[in-house]
Structure 1
Amino acid sequence: MTETPQRPRPLRVLAAMSGGVDSAVAAARAAEAGHDVTGVHLALSANPQSFRTGARGCCTIEDSRDARRAADVIGIPFYVWDLAERFREDVVEDFVAEYEAGRTPNPCLRCNEKIKFAALLDKALALGFDAVCTGHYAQVVRREDGSRELHRASDLAKDQSYVLGVLDERQLAHALFPLGDTVTTKDEIRAEAERRGLAVAKKPDSHDICFIADGDTQGFLAQRLGRAEGDIVDESGAVVGSHEGAYGFTIGQRKGLRIGTPAPDGKPRYVLDISPVTNTVTVGPAAALDVDALTAVRPRWCGTAPTGPGTYTAQLRAHGDETEVSAALVDGTLEVSFAEPVRGVAPGQAIVLYDGTRVVGSATIASTRRATADAL
């Protein structure tokens, strides 16, 4: 007698619904797959604006209403959870402190680590849910031994595994990404939303930093940290300009330097170093940005930690290309060497390691080594 394969049991799923098209379609797909889905919108701002401005920001009252309407159409219960204080402490204050220390943080990655798959997931599990569902483009693969792996999305053009590289195996065991295993364009996702009757089908995607709705990061930081005039110097230490706060610059920045003295060779200059102690910004030629090694701290592994040196590919920013690296854990820190020099690597950024499409883990860049002997 032939046994009939058993279908996976339905899960109790908490769908994080931002009010955008991706999370709405993800929730709809989870419900269509037979799961018992409840929608939740995270109120992350203590004083949310009423409306969004195009693709700027999120978490407005309008977004909450859009999420509720989508849940009504899908036919699932819906709640709004206030996580504003936790978001302020773990994401916004961390963002400000990192810039004040001369580093360049990634708040989306921190939000996934601290809010969506820590505060939200912990609360979901305490209430008896099995998984948290989001609209991220990535895949969770279950191995034969029951362990989970995080992989890139089937559609590499929309892959968001970089900002999920902070998730550990326990969190992956309770994560659901319904958009990650299908190769569909954004237009097709919008068309699916329209077929499902979801009014967010034509809503603009959210870009930039959600808690800086006007996109003026430097203005936001100035308001929080105050203006502090300092020098812009070249590699020799000669003053070539001034600034109103070293926190307003990032490694590799070219525009907005307001340098009065041109470079001797007439070529553009870039930010090479930021020193919050001396409130000094150092600029120089593009070649001085080349980095051939780095040290990263606070490694987090999407599964079992590597036991020895290995060769991987690495991604250094959310929409960056992969580059070949050698990496090893040394006394709890990650030592990474690049096969070819890379540019624009800044302390505070995350480095995410991959083995093929599998996400091995991530760490926060603490320091870099310049490729040229005469560079900083």
Structure 2
Amino acid sequence: MSVLPDPGASRAVLVGTSRYEHLEQLPAVSNNVQALAGWLCGPLSLQLPAGHVTVVENPVAAHTVVGAVRRAAAEATDTLIVYFAGHGLVDGQDQLSLALPHTEFGRVETCLPYDWVRQVLLLDSRAERHVVILDCCYSGLALGRMSAGVGLADQAAVEGSFLLAAAAETRTALAPVGDTYTAFTGALLDTLRRGIPGGPVLLDLGVLYRHLRLTLEARGHPVPQARDRNSGARVALGRNHADLPAAPVAAATGVDTGERPWPDPAAIRTVTGFFTVLADVRVISGLTQQAVSRRSAGGLSSGSVSRLLNRSTLPVSWGTTAAYLSACGVPDDQIAQWQAVWQQLRTQTVSADAASPTVIRGGGRERARAWQRPLSVFRRGRGQ
């Protein structure tokens, strides 16, 4: 079963090298990473908080990239996404290296060995699932140096992950001249934005790979590769836009919402994930906030729906959330699953609050709240 990662427990590191001192320039790479970062944080995608997406452009040193991946690997407990776009080279031992701005052919010390990144994922990551996307190919003097029996995806695979590689072939330039994005990432972004007509509700990596393979082959571009470890292919990067219900739908139309492909509450692990998926319920229902209010038979106002979906802390009582789910058309058995998740998160929150230190201020005692949130959340001044 395909699953959308919990945004509160997931992280992404997007690395792009577009400017080179000694190799061909790849200006489209900068557009790649910015567009992909926007997608991952946007509606109907993973909806990652901005602080959970790290963009590293034109890193001056290998440790800059490795450090960013290591930090994200320590924070993510659900899914960790690592993306690289730029030149890919092959060293004398047929090992994949990622080209940095100062990389020179024949000088291995100027590259980032991909194995360094892979070792971080293998040894230092707390994430349950890993997604590695490599948009790189071989150019210049490196063309054709890969061993005939070993492919890029085989070299780069990580256990417990899904790896999607742009190509293994020694083909032409990574990005067609004048295009906004590189060929592979452009096709990926287009599929995520437009969806796949007749495709499944969730665009998991297995579905994306098969669609990209057909699309890029038809265009005469290098054919992507993929490797799946422990069902990583079931990780979804977003909902299928081509499969969404027409919205908005007025309550008076009597639209049947009972058979909608409702989000699975079992995938929720954090408060951020709870509210992200809760908002998805309304999108999948095809109803506006006003229509949800009308379907609640007076139980909810439009303002109540808006306040519920824009909260950063769990409601103390269950009633409003139950009324919202019911008005959207979620079946009773699934509402019961939602309530179980809400109760579990409430218990975790109360336990964390009770364990927080007591601070003496102004002659009185005040409980210092030690919510389990990334430090970047506090720096942004908002909670999950």
User: Would you tell me which structure has more helix in proportion to its own residues?
Assistant: 2
- TM (norm. structure 1) is 0.22
Structure in which a larger fraction of residues adopt strand:
1
Q: Compute the TM-score of the two structures, normalised by the length of structure 2.
A: 0.22
